[in-house]
Structure 1
Amino acid sequence: MAIRKIARMGHPVLRQVAEPVVDPAEPEIQRLIADMKDTLADAEGVGLAAPQVYVARAVMMFFVPPARTASGEADDGVPLTVLINPEIEVLDDEVVGDWEGCLSIPGLQGYVPRARRIRYRGLDETGAPIEREATDFHARVVQHEYDHLQGILYPERMTDMTRLGFTEELRRHPPDHD
């Protein structure tokens, strides 16, 4: 379909709470999903939410590359998943930190604490219900994209702003602690 421009931190669309989708079969929503797939592939990211392409609707997508799959999940990763009107349930109190980047905050990464285990549910791109449990990176990417639908960017989740840096510098000078 089309590659859309990605909104960057500071644009008001990224601060809005996304509106629910009434009918996933609407041509406008199906066009949005197709464009988001093209945009995500072009940007070489692992997740994208509709507000990042200037549409404040509750649509997000993500995948987990095989190298990032947690033990107990399929070795071939998690395929590209479209999630409409998602809900997240944290399954326990375990929180883990890891480095995150964002297509809307290019060139930066931050160390973000997130729930290690979640359950998410919503509708897929055909309107069929979807529900899965996720751990580790899978859970992290889902929470990150869900935050976009709530008008939240990852720096707001950080507890130590000294662990925010330019990706290029962090590669050259890896932090002493993770």
Structure 2
Amino acid sequence: MNERSTTIVQGSEIADYPEIPPQARRGRALRVTEIGEDVLHRRCRDVTDFGTDELTTLVDDMFATMLVAEGVGLAANQVDVDLRLFVYDLTDSDGVRYVGHVANPDVEVLDLETEENEEGCLSVPGPGADLFRALHVRLRGVDIAGAPVEMTAHGYLARCFQHETDHLNGRLYVDLLSKRVRKRVLRDMEDMREEVLDRRDEVSAVHGKEPAIYSGR
């Protein structure tokens, strides 16, 4: 008999969580901003207005965008919104699924241990590169109602939290690479971008979403 898989939503275990989060079902698929756009290269503004319909809609749209783009995390500036907010939906190597959102995140590295794994980014469509990240972190922030959020993360989840918080500080993963590797990644992106965007259109159709419009197509 297969054991029931574990899903952690906003830091709490949830039984019978759907494969597609309800936010993703409600939301619209938005255009993912791409490297070079100003909103990706500066620190985002803190969220100060909580419990609003606008913030709820933004989270819904970010989950839908992440679903269509087949990502595991997405920051608000990746949908052209200048706010310190990210969403995530990933399954780690132990089969535990983590789903949630965090506003005004702060990541604390808990020890010196690091791990190298391939990392990619929806705003650098296509390629990835190996990158060292801290293996253990603590995430602190608030949810869209303003309630405190605190989670300790290890491995893949820790990498996601660091990657998305970096986004909100105006830093992409390619900024952490050597010049040679960064140049290779950007060259590969040029070759792979159209294929990636075609795939997003296909996934949009599968989920009944209007595909986002990207320049140069």
User: What range describes the TM-score normalised by the shorter chain of this pair?
Assistant: 0.7 to 0.9
TM-score, with length taken from structure 1: 0.83
- Where structure 2 has 5 or more consecutive residues not aligned to the other structure, the ranges are 1-26, 193-217
Distance of 1:119 and 1:22 partners within structure 2:
22
Distance of 2:139 and 2:74 partners within structure 1:
16
- Classify the secondary structure of the residue corresponding to 1:110: strand
Q: Where do residues 1-178 of structure 1 align in structure 2 (5 Å cutoff)? A: 1-65=27-91, 68-69=92-93, 75-78=95-98, 80-159=99-178, 161-162=180-181, 165=185, 166=188
Q: Which amino acid aligns with 1:130?
A: V
Distance of 2:155 and 2:130 partners within structure 1:
14
Q: Which amino acid aligns with 2:96?
A: D
Q: Which amino acid aligns with 1:5?
A: R
Distance of 1:19 and 1:76 partners within structure 2:
32
Q: Which moved more, 1:142-151 or 1:90-99?
A: 90-99
- Post-superposition Cα deviations, 1:79-102, rounded to whole Å, max 9, x if no partner, equal x21000111100011122111111
Bigger radius of gyration: 2
* Cα distance change of structure 1 residues 63 and 11 upon mapping to structure 2, 3 Å threshold: same
What is the Cα deviation at residue 122 of structure 1?
A: 0.8
Count of matched residue pairs: 162
- Classify the secondary structure of the residue corresponding to 2:125: coil
CA contact (8 A) 1:86 1:123 kept: yes
- Classify the secondary structure of the residue corresponding to 2:112: coil
What is the Cα deviation at residue 59 of structure 1?
A: 0.5
Distance of 1:88 and 1:40 partners within structure 2:
22
- Post-superposition Cα deviations, 1:12-50, rounded to whole Å, max 9, x if no partner, equal 110020100012212222221111111111111000000
Distance of 1:24 and 1:81 partners within structure 2:
16
Quote the RMSD (CA, aligned, Å). 2.0
What is the Cα deviation at residue 160 of structure 1?
A: 7.0
What is the Cα deviation at residue 56 of structure 1?
A: 1.1
CA contact (8 A) 1:101 1:110 kept: yes
Q: Which amino acid aligns with 1:69?
A: S
Q: Percent identity?
A: 36
Q: Which amino acid aligns with 1:92?
A: D
Distance of 1:124 and 1:81 partners within structure 2:
9
CA contact (8 A) 1:113 1:157 kept: no
What is the Cα deviation at residue 159 of structure 1?
A: 4.2
Q: Which amino acid aligns with 1:36?
A: M
